[in-house]
Amino acid sequence: MKKKLLLGLTLVLAASVFSACGSKQDDDGQAADGNGKVTYTMQTWDSSWKWDTPINKQLEEKTGVSFDYVPVLDSGATTGKVDVWLASGDYPDVINEAPLKIGKYKDAGALIPLEDLIDQYGPNIKKRFGKYYDLLKDEDGHIYSLYGVNLAKEPSPDSQPSFVVQYDVLKDAGYPEIKTLDQLFDVLQNYYKKHPKTADGKDVIPFSGLSGGLLDITPGLNAAGLPDHGFYAIDGNNNVSYALTSDANKEYIKFLNRLQRAGMLDKEIFSLNAETAGAKITQGRVLASYIPGWLMRGYEKSIIANGDFDKQYAKFSILANETVVDHSNALTPTSSSTNLAITNKAKHPERIIKLIDYLFTDEGQILVNWGIEGTHYDVVNGKRVKNAEFDKKVQSDPTAAAAAGIVGPFNRFSFGNGAKLDDGDYATPVTTDYIASTYDDTTKDVLSHYGKKTWADFMDKPEIYPTMMWQLNTPEDAKPIAIKLEDIWHKEIAKAILAASDSEFEAAWNGAVEQIDNNGKAKLEEMMTGVWKEFMERYNQAVK
Amino acid sequence: MRKRTTAGGVVFNVLNYAMLSVLTICTIYPFLNLLAVSLNESLDSLRGQVYLWPNSFTLENYKIVFQNDALYGATIRSIARTVLGTALSLICSVMLAYTLSRKEFFLRKPINLIMIVSMYVSGGLIPTYLLIKNIGMTNSFWVYIIPGLVSVYNVIIIRSFFDQLPEGLIEAGRIDGANEFQTLFRIVLPVSMPVLATITLFVSVGHWNSWFDNYLYNTRDNLNLLQYELMKILMQSTQQVTSNATGSVASESLRQITPQTIRATMTIIVTVPILFVYPFLQRYFIQGIMIGAMKE
Amino acid sequence: MNAVPRQSLWKKARSQYQLLIMAVPFVLLIILFSYVPLWGWIMAFQKYTPVKGIMGSEFVGFDNFVTLFNDDRFLLVLRNTLVMSIMSLVVGFVGAIALALFLNEIKNAAFKRVVQTVTYIPHFVSMVVIANIVLTFLSPDGGFVNLLLMKLGIIHEPVYFMSKGPWFWVIHTLTLLWKELGWSTIIYLAVIAGLNPETYEAAEVDGAGRFQKIWHISIPGLMPTATMLLILSLGSIVNTGYESQFLLGNQLTRDYYEVLDLYAMNLSFGSGQYSIGVALSIFKCFVSLFLVLSVNKLVKKAGQSSLF
């Protein structure tokens, strides 16, 4: 017995000893010199990506650089791993983060400035950014992160407005082009009177959706014609105001209240999430809603898979009333969202810059957006076309795209869908023609009634904005106020939506406005105005 | 011994069986539902009407998950961690608990206090990470075993069980000249099967299900565990839904594995092994295990 | 330990050296992993950012605690936390012990095994899934409960359960019960299995019926373990986590579902990010220890077997 015990104890002790020497090989496998093959560790935000793909192999051949992906699964709230990295100094060579987090790394002194390297090794980066190059710079004149430049002058052909209306409803009404909330209300009411139940006996829900911001913030601001600056609206003098309590937003909340009083609003809209709302939509019970494209696509795949082509949804750009001008279709010159930064751990960072520079050449763009000729795309009559076989593979196997390397951390350097390269052809396969060709016959038919080719055509003329508010580095002290106001908003505006009479509605609305005012709105507006004005100064300087 | 069956007894039995059956039906629903969803086509599951039976049967979801080669190594590592971790943890916890059940042990009170207090204090993520890093356990297999080696909660449960053993048992051993180790392993443990089975279950399940330490401390792919690899798959399907997919080729795939489906598949994969382990341990929860020891 | 002549202590140590070998290494391990990282508590008194580290972060004294407690929502949040915790605690305990006792009365081994195995499965199902099942179940739009109640004529319009504030507490407690009942019962089953069957046999000879046996033997047999686990759980009363509340709650029930952990998370998005979390952690620690140590004393006084 004693022996067994001693063995057990020795095991434990040995374990601790081994653990101590277990991890000395914490190196990054970097080459000693500046030439030859080099491997860097890079943080990625999608764990399905792997380096070992044909496209990445090509990249490696061209530049000699390869990457070890380190996936970070932190969601917004739990920033455990990133904080831990900063505190322990264990971060990888290359990080990919939102501007706010990049700021954190910068403050910690973990990032290296890139402008000299770009001057030397990144001629294509400079060329493509053109007059927007200085936008990459920080207040202190250094460049700490890289992102893509948007050379497309039109919105992406696969973008779509977020107000969705079921085909059946439109057919029944003779394909009206719905432009205002009142129009939508009338169309829905007429259809609902005639069809209170679906073909298989379930209740029809005229208007449904997800709870939270997609219920009471985003659609309202959208209908008010505001560009997507998060919670804010920016006037001509670069003053930032909190848009939720503005009169423009009130129209939409009134609309929801009207629906509710007419019994047309989903009874449980306040507790629906993507899954439960999605179930109702894919079952064809919902006549209209506000669902952004990235979410809608998933639902429509299900509807199509079930063969319910006429239960698909048309996407309209709907405004509060006739007088509202739609500024919501925004384009920014750069595609800053998840940005790349190089940490002080990387040896010979110029190799990385060289790789990114390659991505800014026509050849590089074709490689990451189109793929390899013959495998992922073909050249037909001088124009690039998706390779039919590969396309079919991607359609049927959700992992095929990642396995080929056609999706990965480099796509964000794309020049934009609809942009053209120096050879006159498109930079990416996502073109109007291609998107139009993916539509099923029912969709094509519906679109033809409106004389449009794709849903993107319903979006108003795009406007170029220097940047969107959420792309900027907001001051840390602004965040708690913003969060608090958002919570107050959700709680108070629910009362307005549920109001049973006009007077009740007004009281609830005013109550919400008052609460927001009393809890720091002015301070928040002040801080954000400061941030915006400061950015505009730099922007105007840079773009002169 | 006469067993008296009364009318009241029969009624009670019937009600008991009935009530427990209802309870069983209620609690098995999530599992059957998840099983059905995992065997249902992902896009069809979006329509939300899968309850106990798949509407559109497919093995696709399992195929996609198992397609992931990383899973095989990860499973082996998870099994290794669970077996080694449970064995070591049991031995150490039992030893510590035993000393605390000996009333004459002079350090009993202070150790109890140290243990209890440790249950409710925590330094936070960063100091713990730095500690692990400084003793060299980052990127190592041992970070899965050593920090969690002795769970105070488990020790207290075992100790409480030992406390209730009759003194006569230990006395008999003493008289025969056994030392502490022999008393523990030859006398106390054999009659402690129920609590040992319970703690084995708790500890092994804990090891089998953990992924956060993997995520935080080990960046090497060759140290990944099953639950972590599955978690990655789940996170990536969630991210693919929410990431701005404009212009992304992946969004054009007509097949989409939704987070809902992945979650269902994952739960089944992880839970089924546990379902097999429990009945095996359950035979230790039989009353009368003590009898053998007392009869001299 | 009071003042003992050193020699006696040393002698004791020597005579109990085996026990020392069995105990000390593991106590050291506990100290290493639980107490050593406590240096991090200083972050609660700073405006800590991982960027600046402990040395570089600004010292702000009790500011973080003030931020935490000063908010007008703090008391509301505390109320929610305590109410839900206590409800879960009571229901959970009574339920687990009751289930163990009922299961023990089942003579059919196969049935017993099936019930045991099935009832603990929800413990392994993610809260996300459980929450969605509950939401669908209680939905006013074709949910099972509403359909049933309407069929029975008890109500005429479906009830939107998830919109009702105080009901949230009940729904949340029942959801947790459903999820954890089977798993929490395991320990009690183990304890019952360890009780001496001779006691039961003796009682039967004396003419004890089923309930008397339960009342006089099973329950007292379970009491020490139950008391101990109860005290331990009391310590976690402020540690509710936030996942289940967040998933089941919505903007209509905000004033009822917001718990301490959720509240702190929202506060911690600002510049005090990390520090607020640590400050809350310290607060929770003191509350927990206070509860555990004082209840333990009370239990000792009452003559019951205590935690330590």
DSSP calls for B25-40: HHHHHHHHHHHHHHTB
CA nearest neighbour of C162 among A266, A8, B224, B264: A266
Q: Check if the beta carbon of residue A470 is closer than 8 Å to that of residue B244.
A: no
Residues in chain C within 8 Å Cβ distance of A209:
none
Q: Which residue has the tokens 């590592």?
A: B77
Within an 8 Å CB–CB cutoff, is residue C55 touching chain A? no
Q: What are the distances in angstroms from CA C209 to CA B288, C4, C97, C105, C192?
A: 20, 52, 20, 12, 18
Q: Give pLDDT, residue C5.
A: 55
Residues B73 and B163 in one domain: yes
C17, C137, C141: best mutation site toward chain A, by most A Cβ within 10 Å?
C141
Residues B178 and B37 in one domain: no
Residue B292 identity: G
Q: Give pLDDT, residue A76.
A: 46
Q: Give pLDDT, residue B242.
A: 53
Please list the residues that pair with A420 across neighbouring strands. Answer: A426
Contact A301 B258 (CB under 8 A): no
Chain B nearest C-alpha distance from A431 (Å): 9
The total of structural domains in chain B comes to: 2
Contact B129 A84 (CB under 8 A): yes
Chains contacting chain A through 3 or more C-beta pairs under 8 A: B, C
Both ends of chain A: CA-CA distance in Å? 84
Chains contacting chain B through 3 or more C-beta pairs under 8 A: A, C
Contact B249 A429 (CB under 8 A): yes
CA A24 to chain centre: 39
* Chain C, window 24-63: residues with a beta carbon less than 8 angstroms from a chain B beta carbon: 25-27, 29-41, 43, 50
Contact C269 A480 (CB under 8 A): yes
Mean pLDDT of C191-209: 83
* Chain C, window 262-281: residues with a beta carbon less than 8 angstroms from a chain A beta carbon: 265-267, 269-271, 273-274
* B128-164 confidence digits (pLDDT tens): 888 998 998 888 899 999 998 999 999 998 998 888 8
Chain A nearest C-alpha distance from C65 (Å): 16
d(CA A404, CA A402): 5
Residue B161 identity: F
d(CA A136, CA A144): 8
Residues B93 and B215 in one domain: yes
pLDDT tens track, chain A, 544 positions: 344 444 544 454 444 434 333 333 334 444 445 567 888 988 888 777 888 889 999 889 888 899 988 877 765 445 567 777 877 788 889 998 888 778 878 877 889 999 899 999 999 999 998 888 888 888 788 899 999 888 888 778 888 899 999 999 999 999 998 999 999 999 999 999 999 998 888 899 999 999 988 999 999 999 988 888 888 988 888 888 899 988 888 999 999 999 999 999 999 999 999 889 999 999 999 999 999 988 888 888 889 888 888 899 999 999 988 888 888 888 888 888 888 999 998 988 999 999 999 999 999 999 988 889 888 888 888 888 888 888 888 877 777 777 888 888 888 888 888 888 888 888 888 888 888 888 889 999 999 999 998 998 888 778 888 888 887 877 777 888 888 899 899 999 999 999 999 999 999 999 999 999 998 899 999 999 998 998 888 888 877 6
Contact A156 B246 (CB under 8 A): yes
Residue B50 lies in a domain: yes
* Chain B, window 48-87: residues with a beta carbon less than 8 angstroms from a chain C beta carbon: 48
Contact C254 A480 (CB under 8 A): no
Chain A nearest C-alpha distance from C234 (Å): 27
Of C51, C142, C270, the CB nearest to A477: C270
**What's the alpha-carbon Rg for chain A, to the nearest Å?**
26
Residues B161 and B247 in one domain: yes
Residue B240 lies in a domain: yes
Residues B32 and B140 in one domain: no
Q: For the purposes of burial, counting CB atoms within 10 Å of the CB of A501, is it exposed (0-12), middle (13-18) or buried (19 or more)?
A: exposed
- What ipTM does this complex have? 0.84
Please list the alpha-helical segments (H only) found in A23-163: 54-63, 80-88, 99-107, 115-121, 123-129
Q: For the purposes of burial, counting CB atoms within 10 Å of the CB of A141, is it exposed (0-12), middle (13-18) or buried (19 or more)?
A: exposed
Q: For the purposes of burial, counting CB atoms within 10 Å of the CB of C28, is it exposed (0-12), middle (13-18) or buried (19 or more)?
A: exposed
Of A73, A276, A337, the CB nearest to B215: A73
pLDDT band at B286 (very low <50, low <70, confident <90, very high): low
Residue B12 lies in a domain: no
CA C247 to chain centre: 19
* B109-127 confidence digits (pLDDT tens): 899 999 999 999 887 788 8
Contact A483 C269 (CB under 8 A): yes
Residues B227 and B262 in one domain: yes
CA nearest neighbour of A149 among A353, A318, A336: A336
Contact A297 B135 (CB under 8 A): no
Residue B3 lies in a domain: no
Which are the contacts of C182, defined by CB distance < 8 A and separation ≥ 6?
B27, C99, C116, C118, C119, C120, C121, C122, C123
**pLDDT exceeds cutoff 70 at B89:** yes
CATH classification (class only), C72-301:
mainly alpha
* Chain A, window 512-541: residues with a beta carbon less than 8 angstroms from a chain B beta carbon: none
∠ at Cα A277 (A275, A283), nearest 5°? 100
Of B41, B92, B235, the CB nearest to A47: B235
Q: Give pLDDT, residue A431.
A: 86
Q: Give pLDDT, residue A34.
A: 56
Contact C250 A211 (CB under 8 A): yes
Q: Check if the beta carbon of residue A189 is closer than 8 Å to that of residue A217.
A: no
Closest CA in chain C for residue B15: C102
CA nearest neighbour of A283 among C222, B49, C85: B49
Within an 8 Å CB–CB cutoff, is residue A394 touching chain B? yes
Q: Which domain holds residue B78?
A: 68-285
Cβ neighbour number for residue A382 with a 10 Å cutoff:
8
d(CA B201, CA C187): 10
- CB pairs A-C closer than 8 Å: 82
B46, B88, B244: best mutation site toward chain A, by most A Cβ within 10 Å?
B46
Residues B217 and B93 in one domain: yes
Residues in chain C within 8 Å Cβ distance of B130:
37
Chain B nearest C-alpha distance from A280 (Å): 7
Q: Over chain C, what HEC string results?
A: CCCCCHHHHHHHHHHCHHHHHHHHHHHHHHHHHHHHHHHHHHHHHEECCCCCHHHHCEECCCHHHHHHHHCCCHHHHHHHHHHHHHHHHHHHHHHHHHHHHHHHCCCCHHHHHHHHHHHHHHHHCCHHHHHHHHHHHCCCCCCHHHHHHHHCCCCCCCCCHHHCHHHHHHHHHHHHHHHHHHHHHHHHHHHHHHCCHHHHHHHHHCCCCHHHHHHHHHHHHHHHHHHHHHHHHHHCCCCCCCHHHHHHCCCCCHHHHCCHHHHHHHHCCCCCHHHHHHHHHHHHHHHHHHHHHHHHHHHHHCCCCCCC
Tokens of C308: 């330590």
Chain A nearest C-alpha distance from B202 (Å): 21
Q: What are the distances in angstroms from CA A513 to CA A239, A481, A509, A526, B53?
A: 19, 15, 6, 18, 49
Residue B153 lies in a domain: yes
Please list the residues that pair with A315 across neighbouring strands. Answer: A164
pLDDT band at B3 (very low <50, low <70, confident <90, very high): low
* B13-58 confidence digits (pLDDT tens): 899 999 999 999 999 999 999 999 999 988 888 888 888 888 888 8
Phi, psi of A459 (to 5 degrees): -80, 140
B236: domain CATH number is: 1.10.3720.10
d(CA B176, CA A184): 91
Residue A492 identity: E
CA A439, A444, A447, A453 dihedral sign is positive
Residue B291 lies in a domain: no
Mean pLDDT of C136-162: 90
Residues in chain A within 8 Å Cβ distance of C254:
487, 490-491
CA nearest neighbour of C112 among B197, B17, B196, B8: B17
Phi, psi of C144 (to 5 degrees): -55, -50
Q: What are the distances in angstroms from CA A373 to CA A21, A370, A384, A393, B142?
A: 48, 8, 9, 16, 47
Residues B91 and B236 in one domain: yes
Q: Check if the beta carbon of residue B133 is closer than 8 Å to that of residue A88.
A: yes
Residues B173 and B216 in one domain: yes
Of C30, C33, C182, the CB nearest to B27: C182
Q: Give pLDDT, residue A393.
A: 83
pLDDT band at C81 (very low <50, low <70, confident <90, very high): very high
Tokens of A14: 């040995």
Tokens of A82: 């990133």
Residue C292 identity: V
Q: Check if the beta carbon of residue A69 is closer than 8 Å to that of residue A51.
A: yes
Q: Check if the beta carbon of residue A384 is closer than 8 Å to that of residue A362.
A: no
pLDDT band at C179 (very low <50, low <70, confident <90, very high): very high
d(CA B225, CA B221): 9
Contact C117 B278 (CB under 8 A): yes
Contact C190 B209 (CB under 8 A): no
Q: Which residue has the tokens 């006084």?
A: C301
- Domain ranges for chain C, please list them: 1-32, 72-301
* C86-128 confidence digits (pLDDT tens): 999 999 999 999 999 999 888 888 898 889 889 999 998 889 8
Of B150, B180, B294, the CB nearest to C18: B180
Provide the residue count of chain B. Answer: 296
Chain B nearest C-alpha distance from A70 (Å): 7
* Chain B, window 138-177: residues with a beta carbon less than 8 angstroms from a chain C beta carbon: 146-147, 149-150, 152-153, 156-157, 160-161, 163-164
